[in-house]
Structures are given as C-alpha cells and as structure tokens.
Amino acid sequence: MNDTQIIDTYITKLFNSGGKNRKQFALKEHEVKRIVLEARQIFLSQPMLLELHAPIKICGDIHGQFHDLLRLFDEGGFPPLSNYLFLGDFVDRGKMGLEVVCLLFCYKIKYPDNFFLLRGNHECFTINQVYGFYHECLKKYSVNVWKIFCDCFQCLPLSAIIDDKIFCVHGGLSPELDDIDRIKKIARPTEVDDDGLLCDLLWSDPSETFYGWHENLRGVSYTFGADIVEEFCDEMNLDLICRAHQVVDDGFEFFANQRLVTIFSASNYCGEFDNCGAMMNVSEELDCDFSILKPKKETVSFFSTNLPPTPPKNRYNKNKRNKNRYNNNRPFGAAVTSVAISVTQRTFDYDIETSKIPNDYLRLGTEKFLYIGDALCDSILGFLGRDRKKSRTK
C-alpha cells in the first residue's frame, strides 16, 4: 500500500472503533508512532503563523470527546469536503483523546493544505501529564507514546490569519504582541514558559470586568479588556479575533462589540456544564454562521482528578445569565467592519448514528469517500448507520 492508502486504513480503524472508549485502542503502537512522526514533519514544514483562506470551518476545544468530533464532521462535511481549522486542546478530560488526536493528525497528513491544527494550552506536557492524556497513553500504550506526542505538540503552529482579517489563536492576546510577525519568529520545537508571548497566546482570557491588562484568576497570564481587543484589531487592520479556551453556554459567545468570539466545541463539557458545542462556518465572503452542537443526554466518562476543568466564562456569576449575551452595541447580524461578517446560527441535536443528512450531501459525500477507497467509504457510512449502495440511489 502507498502512504495515502495506509492513512486511509488508520482512519478506517478509528471509525470501526465505533466511537466507544475501549481499553484496547484501534491502532497499534507502531501505527500511532508513524502518524505522530509524519504529522510532526508537516507541522514543521508550515509556518508558526498560518496564512489561510476562506471558506473554512473553525472548531474550538474538543478535549477527548471523540463522538463530538465526529458529530462536527458529520455536520460540516468530512474532509476534504470542507476546510478545517482547530484551535487546540484536543486532549485531556475526555477519555478518547488518543482517538481525537490520531484522527486529526491523519487528516492533517492526508490533506496538509486543507486541514489545520493550532496548539492549545493542553498540548503541553506539564498540563496533559495531570489532566488525563498521560494516563490515557499509559493505559492504552506506554509512556513512550505520550513522549512522542508531547514532542509533536511542541511543533504545532500557534495562530492563523484568515484572509488578513480574522486572527485565530487558542487563548488570546499578549502585551508583547505589538506585531503579529513576532509569532513567526518563535522557534520550534518549543515548550511553554510560565510567562511571555507564547504563554499568553495559549492562556490569556478576555475580561468583561476590567479594561486594559489585569491579573488572570487562573494564576497564569493575563485578562484583557474590550479596549485592548478593539485597539489590537484597529492597529492590525483585523475584523475579528477568534479564540477558544473557555466554556460558553451556547458554544460561541461574542465580546468587545463583536470584535472577538469564543468558540468551544465540546458539548456538555466534563459531563457537568450542559453547554452546547459550536463550529464557526466562514464563507468565502467572510460571512460567519454557527453550527450548534446540543449536549447529548447519555453519560460520558471523563478522567477524574482533583483539579478543576477549563473554567467557563462568567464562572463567578454562573447563576446569573448575561441577558446581553453577545455584547451587542449594534443589531445582531450587523457588519462587524468593512468585511461585513454576518452572524446567524443553526442547531443540530442528532446523534451521529441516526442523523439524516440532505440527499445532495450524501451523494457528494459518497463520491468523495469512494474516491479515497471503498473500505473507508463503507466504514464511515456504516458508522453513520447508512448503506453505501442505498446512499448512491437517493
């Protein structure tokens, strides 16, 4: 088999796992190592600051919730039907971080110029050693697998700019980010220090309470006010900052007069927040809408630690919902700036096994899957509860 066929085989195995957490992982250790090493080479071959183009779909934290990842692909179109950008935090908390990161890496290898991953604060050995990924690697493989993942995580890009107008990062801004080109100069592989530009990009948060820069209650990095966001966007000629890093009730939430949006894609995070997940769909014209992933009712297992999960926004007023959810000083859906980013939302609450996708999507999707191999096509459609022959006749 050639390299593409081998990657297809790995993807098929991940789908054949049925989306269920198992002690015996779908891939063998040498297969996982091959995936990680190939992905690492691709990450290093591409810049630290990715320059991307719309249309593209942007996803926030996944945190080992493999089933949510598949639901997002089912809604947005499995690669290469759509271009994707993930904002980091693939692992920890959820018990299927290996499935999540291996599938993401496989798609990165297969479609390096259409599928993009940024580093999150959990793609760091000091964090994922404590929050679950280390123990997951030990349970399913060995400490060596965890080490090669951590080495690969140190090579992930930190940020992306879409058509020079949308700045994407996991955490937020930094007082040291006076020029976006500074990100390009960060050498890789690199670990995350306790402070500085790299730390801030992965850890900082917007604040609805304070203006300017302020101490972050996480104990790491800063919070920044709406004034910082608008000043940064104006100076860099940006229309929108897109980040993840915090749980938000609806899966997405605007800040600073719609100049910043937080996206979180893991629904019912840690089985206790009952939050929606979301995916931002950016059209070629830079219009944005959101696919909302409703939380599933079934119980999902998570790694148990004595440490708190990723804190939600407004966590100190969680019993008082913000009536002005999107910080709108203008009508919801109005243009942000000259690029006219419009905002609508659509909700999907189906299970991936029983979802009903429009027939034209099925036909298009089937043709794409057939192109990359009958076995992979059958595996994906089977996971979705469909028959390939029947799908072709619809």
Nearest CA among 78, 61, 65 for reference residue 302: 65
Report helix, strand and coil shares of the chain as percent, to nearest 5: 35, 15, 50
Nearest to 110 by CA among 9, 196, 194: 9
73-120, pLDDT tens digit by residue? Answer: 999 999 999 999 999 999 999 989 999 999 999 999 999 999 999 999
Give how far Cα 239 sits from Cα of 190, 248, 374, Å: 30, 21, 43
H/E run at residue 31: helix 29-45
> What pLDDT shows up at residue 84?
99
Per the rule left: phi > 0, alpha: psi between -120 and 50, beta: everything else, 240 is beta
pLDDT at 7 (0 to 100): 96
Q: Is 214 a catalytic residue?
A: no
User: Average pLDDT, stretch 293-314?
Assistant: 59
pLDDT at 311: 54
**Mean pLDDT across the chain:** 82
Query: Domains in the chain and their CATH numbers?
Result: 3-355 (3.60.21.10), 356-394 (no CATH)
Report residue 63 as tokens: 């945190």
Encoded tokens for 257: 């007069």
Pairwise CA distance, residues 300 & 229, whole Å: 36
Q: Comparing 38 with 376, which gets the higher pLDDT?
A: 38
Q: Of these residues, 53, 63, 67, 122, which one is catalytic?
A: 122
Nearest C-alpha neighbor of 11 from the set 71, 79, 89, 67: 79
